[in-house]
Amino acid sequence: MRNRRLGLLAVVSLMVAGILATIAAPVASAHSQLESSDPANGAQLSTAPTRVSLTFNEAIQESFDVLNVVGPDNHYWHEGDPTVTGPTISVGLRELGPAGKYVINYRVTSADGHPVSGQRTFEMTTAGSGTPGPAVDAAQSSSDDGPPLWPFIVGALVILAGGLGVVLWWSRRPRAH
């Protein structure tokens, strides 16, 4: 009987330790990180740049990349497809139009296959005479806050409850003499 209780205690202890380790584990961030942008984030410019480029801490994949520039008029101001050269992605710009904040939206795939996305901004202090691209669809808003945490917590609780159920079932079974 004593060996059975020690075994039961060991199983429960391992399950609790495993769940606590899973919940307390740090988030891995081995994928690419944005190091710089041209124009710099938050820059105030009186003359329009001809290209926008972002440089990451490591080479990024050339597939599934997105780089666009949205002006204060809610129109696209980039021209052509983005190009990737090692750790840098860039795209050409139209001659810019209205003064105000321009948002650089990016989504790239790091060398390890993880998507990385975000935004940078710059401000035109002087209006230009450029012609905008198409309007941005208002429904295209996205956020990359990572996966939600609640499914992992629910999964851990289900595993814990199932494990405790098995342990209780095992401990209450009639013993054969």
What backbone phi and psi angles, to 5 degrees, belong to 156? -65, -40
Q: Is residue 118 part of a domain?
A: yes
What is the CA 118 to chain-centroid distance, rounded?
A: 8
Q: Domain holding 53: CATH number?
A: 2.60.40.1220
Structure confidence at residue 22 (pLDDT): 65
- Domains contained in the chain, number: 1
Residues 6+ apart with CB under 8 A from 145: none
Q: Backbone dihedral region of 86: left (phi > 0), alpha (psi from -120 to 50 degrees) or beta? A: left
What backbone phi and psi angles, to 5 degrees, belong to 48? -75, 140
> Residue by residue, what is the 3-state secondary structure of 69-124?
EECCCCEECEEEEEEEECCEEEEEECCCCCCEEEEEEEEEEECCCCEEEEEEEEEE
State pTM to two decimals.
0.61
Per-run averaged pLDDT (10 residues), the chain, 177 residues:
66 70 58 89 93 93 90 94 93 93 94 89 92 76 58 84 82 70
Q: Which domain holds residue 85?
A: 34-124
Q: Is residue 47 part of a domain?
A: yes
Q: Is residue 85 part of a domain?
A: yes
Q: Is residue 76 part of a domain?
A: yes
Query: 75 near 134, Cβ under 8 Å?
Result: yes
Structure confidence at residue 1 (pLDDT): 61
Secondary structure class of 37 (helix, strand, coil): strand
